Amino acid sequence: MSAEAADPGAPLRRRSRPRIDLRRLGRVALLGPVSRDRLPDAIGHVAEAHRAHHPDADLTILRRAYVLAESSHRGQMRKSGEPYITHPLAVTLILAELGAETTTLTASLLHDTVEDTEVTLDQVREQFGDEVCYLVDGVTKLEKVDYGAAAEPETFRKMLVATGNDVRVMSIKLADRLHNMRTLGVMRPEKQARIAKVTRDVLIPLAERLGVQALKTELEDLVFAILHPEEYEQTRALIAAAAGPDAPLDTIADNVRGTLRDAGISAEVLIRPRHFVSVHRVRRKRGELRGTDFGRLLVLVTEDADCYAVLGELHTCFTPVISEFKDFIAAPKFNLYQSLHTAVVGPGGAVAEVLIRTHRMHKVAEAGVVALGNPYAQDHAAAPQTEPSDERADPTRPGWLSRLLDWQESATDPDTFWTTLRADLAQDREITVFRTDGGTLGLPAGASCVDAAYAQYGDRAHTSIGARVNGRLATLSTVLSDGDTVQLLLAQDTASGPSPDWLDHARTPAARIAITGWLTDHPDEAKPTPSTMTSMDPGGPGPAEPAAPERAAPATAPARTRSGPRATGVVVDGPDAPVRLAGCCTPVPPDELTGFVVRGGAVTVHRRECPAVAAMQEIGRAPVGARWADAGGRESDAGCRVTLVAESFGRPRLLADLTEAIATAEAAIVSATVEPPSEQRVRHTYTLQLPDAAGLPALMRAMREVAGVYDVSRAQHPAPAG
């Protein structure tokens, strides 16, 4: 069964079987009893589809489920005028075609009995067991009489919670919505649009996440036809015009078959027509469509290794489009999808996209979790499990579903749940990031370190102060990429909380709900961050009165060199003149030096790597040789002055802890400034007087060890002489 049928209104079916007339079967269902030794004629096609996937299936329970469904729905009619039994029959057929196992099909036949008839859950449990009862209950809607306007969101909440325990619940719901969408034309336009929007916002993303592409693509086309009828008709006309016996893909497909046959690779090469929405997307992306844009080649082989053999032959015998290559076999998508994607240039320059997969991969690509059969059977349970932190460890409880179930508990208000659910499902791509303890986190594309923190630590993430991404320190606002390694840094002060700014970087509902909840509960306790630069009393560690911030000059007009202290222990070449250490880089032994004559005849000495040195030379200033006075590179007893820049994440008491570390190292603070925070990052600049330059490395280490400080460096200010 193709997931990209050209006609979105056509029912899902295997090519080997003729189209089934459900209207006729509905009438057959009302003709009376059937003999006990065979299945009712009305579900013979379901049995045939089921046996195609499960040859040894026991069909007795299906017969009993059909008899109960037919008798309980007898007399009910759909709005289309068909007997109601045609609906559960159609839903069951869809699932049977996908390869669903017997329990799912049994529940599918009964999925509307508790909701629309006098049958009770106790009766279902008594006749068919707990499993079938759970599935039927999972898809049964909540009554509007009891829930009012909240009935729809609360029904979806109930269904998702049930899916968390058994993914087959959502399989039935998706097939149910597909058949309803196929027959939506009998409803008022406004109701069609409302149902189509919910399908677009909720059901289609769920189908994508569960890997059920066969249902997802047809649902997309049906929604497209209702919500965008003009674009739909234009796309339909383009597809019809492109159809013909001399389609460019036919020629390329024949060449691929010949290439693989000559290489001795047994493969089936098919042409998969793109579905309507896919064609529409390609048209919007490229403008004018090429003849090969209406479909893709599908190459099916037996073994995984054969996939790479096919890829090698295609890239050898055709010109590959390297940018189109993707390996989803070595790195499967989060929804179980596996395939090799590539594109090759055929005769006349035509470019064809190619999908390469095994028959097993193809079944999973079409049916997703439905292809698992009964994932809760004993043989599945006995299989070895990967670590539960792995996103793909348990396909019956994928990471995205676990996250959804976690945050929905905090969204007690139905409107909040409904809005957040749609926003969550709108994240149409997932990434996997690695934790330093060996586990993984599954996050939506665009997620930041804020999202990773709440995914890993829950409410403990309120104390986050930063992160390391791929070994490098990063702010919480840093956007993560697939495959990144992230280590979250938490403050020791467990009483601290998140900043309102975090909401600007949070993409996951769990993070947004947790942050919003904390801010609501602590309106006056948002995480404090410095708001102005702060002047420091040179003699002590405590903050004094705020000082005006220094403004950085543009790079094209660097600021005037700041006056530095009179240099001792420095010898310069040339005339006897006052010598000063540059305030922009505050050189200390054993830094390599160079000097420049400035206004007034004084010589200002810089570190050789100071940006001001290059700026001086660019404006024609001749350098003056300079060096430390003694051979050991040690300064005299007067000590040294140095400017250090500390980069840190904002947290309470950070300033006090830093100045305490400086004081412990016996350095005197000449001046200090703290710049306003940017994305939770704070920059501190200290000019310090040290008794001996040899103590500088130990001082910088002590400052780096202060919690929240991620870097300490020597100041590098652009400062040509004025």
- Whether the Cβ atoms of residue 608 and residue 585 lie closer than 8 Å to each other: no
Least confident window among 54-58, 164-168, 427-431, 629-633: 629-633
Q: What is the mean pLDDT of residues 474-484?
A: 86
Torsion sign, CA atoms 516, 518, 524, 530: negative
Q: For residue 3, is pLDDT > 50?
A: no
pLDDT band of residue 668 (cuts 50, 70, 90) is confident
pLDDT band of residue 493 (cuts 50, 70, 90) is low
User: Smallest Cα–Cα separation from 90: which of 29, 30, 41, 22?
Assistant: 22
Q: What is the mean pLDDT of residues 300-329?
A: 91
pLDDT of residue 572: 81
Q: What is the mean pLDDT of residues 167-171?
A: 91
Q: For residue 197, is pLDDT > 60?
A: yes
- pLDDT, one tens digit per residue, over 277-288 is 988 888 888 777
Q: What is the mean pLDDT of residues 75-89?
A: 89
Secondary structure, 3-state, 518-584: HHHHCCCCCCCCCCCCEEECCCCCCEEEECCCCCCCCCCCCCCCCCCCECCCEEECCCCCCEEECCC
How long, in residues, is the chain? Answer: 722
pLDDT of residue 563: 36
Q: How many angstroms separate the CA atoms of 567 and 647, rounded? A: 28
User: Smallest Cα–Cα separation from 644: which of 657, 662, 660, 664?
Assistant: 662
pLDDT of residue 630: 61
The pLDDT mean for the chain works out to 78
User: Smallest Cα–Cα separation from 355: which of 368, 342, 338, 337?
Assistant: 342
Q: How many angstroms separate the CA atoms of 526 and 463, rounded? A: 11
Tokens encoding 42? 């009305």
Q: Starting at the edge strand that comes first in sequence, how are the strands of the sheet with 464-469 ordered?
A: 440-444, 430-435, 485-490, 464-469, 472-474
Q: For residue 223, is pLDDT > 90?
A: yes
Secondary structure, 3-state, 452-477: HHHHHHHHHHHHEEEEEECCEEECCC
For residue 95, how many other CB atoms are within 10 A of its CB?
Answer: 29
User: Smallest Cα–Cα separation from 662: which of 497, 541, 535, 578?
Assistant: 541
| Cα dihedral 221/223/225/227 (nearest 10) | -150
Q: How many angstroms separate the CA atoms of 288 and 285, rounded? A: 9
Q: For residue 644, is pLDDT > 50?
A: yes
Distance of CA 613 to the CA centre of its chain: 46
User: Smallest Cα–Cα separation from 117: which of 80, 65, 69, 175?
Assistant: 69
Q: What is the mean pLDDT of residues 638-645?
A: 75
Task: Quote the DSSP letter at residue 431.
Answer: E
At 685, is the secondary structure helix, strand, or coil? Answer: strand
Q: What kind and span of H or E run contains 395? A: none
Torsion sign, CA atoms 366, 12, 177, 27: negative
- pLDDT, one tens digit per residue, over 576-588 is 777 777 766 777 7
User: Smallest Cα–Cα separation from 108: which of 461, 370, 367?
Assistant: 370
pLDDT of residue 583: 65
- Whether the Cβ atoms of residue 213 and residue 366 lie closer than 8 Å to each other: yes
- Whether the Cβ atoms of residue 119 and residue 113 lie closer than 8 Å to each other: yes
User: Smallest Cα–Cα separation from 702: which of 669, 671, 668, 664?
Assistant: 664
Least confident window among 116-130, 630-644, 687-701: 630-644
| Cα dihedral 688/693/696/699 (nearest 10) | -60
Tokens encoding 302? 């037996």
Angle subtended at Cα 433 by Cα 361 and Cα 495, rounded to the nearest 5 degrees: 145
Q: What kind and span of H or E run contains 701? A: helix 696-704
Q: How many angstroms separate the CA atoms of 152 and 143, rounded? A: 9
Tokens encoding 545? 């009165």
Least confident window among 103-107, 449-453, 669-673: 669-673
Token look-up 């280490």 returns 701
User: Smallest Cα–Cα separation from 135: which of 86, 184, 101, 181?
Assistant: 101
Q: Comparing 294 with 542, which gets the higher pLDDT?
A: 294
Q: For residue 125, is pLDDT > 50?
A: yes
**First and final C-alpha spacing in the chain:** 78
User: Smallest Cα–Cα separation from 29: which of 76, 79, 91, 61?
Assistant: 76
Q: How many angstroms separate the CA atoms of 107 and 44, rounded? A: 17
Least confident window among 218-227, 346-355, 611-620: 611-620
- pLDDT, one tens digit per residue, over 436-464 is 887 888 888 889 999 999 988 888 898 88
For residue 637, how many other CB atoms are within 10 A of its CB?
Answer: 9
Q: Comparing 327 with 628, which gets the higher pLDDT?
A: 327
- Whether the Cβ atoms of residue 449 and residue 184 lie closer than 8 Å to each other: no
Secondary structure, 3-state, 325-356: CEECCCCCCCCCCCCEEEEEECHHHCEEEEEE
Instruction: Give the side-chain half-sphere CA count within 13 A for 174.
Output: 36
Q: Active-site residues: which are they? A: 115-116
pLDDT of residue 619: 75
pLDDT of residue 199: 93
Listed in sequence order, the DSSP H helices in 166-292 are 168-182, 189-198, 204-209, 213-227, 229-242, 248-262, 276-286
The DSSP bridge partners found for residue 355 are 298, 341
pLDDT of residue 29: 43
Q: For residue 534, is pLDDT > 70?
A: no
At 241, is the secondary structure helix, strand, or coil? Answer: helix
Q: For residue 598, is pLDDT > 80?
A: no
pLDDT band of residue 599 (cuts 50, 70, 90) is low
pLDDT band of residue 378 (cuts 50, 70, 90) is low
Q: Comparing 628 with 360, which gets the higher pLDDT?
A: 360
Phi, psi (5° rounding) for residue 150? -85, 0
pLDDT of residue 377: 67
Tokens encoding 153? 């969101």
Torsion sign, CA atoms 460, 463, 469, 475: positive
Least confident window among 53-62, 139-148, 215-224, 473-482: 139-148
Token look-up 């790479």 returns 308
Q: How far is CA 256 from CA 62, 320, 362, 403, in A?
A: 44, 13, 19, 43
Q: Residue 349: left if φ>0, alpha if ψ -120 to 50, beta else—which one?
A: left
Angle subtended at Cα 718 by Cα 715 and Cα 722, rounded to the nearest 5 degrees: 125
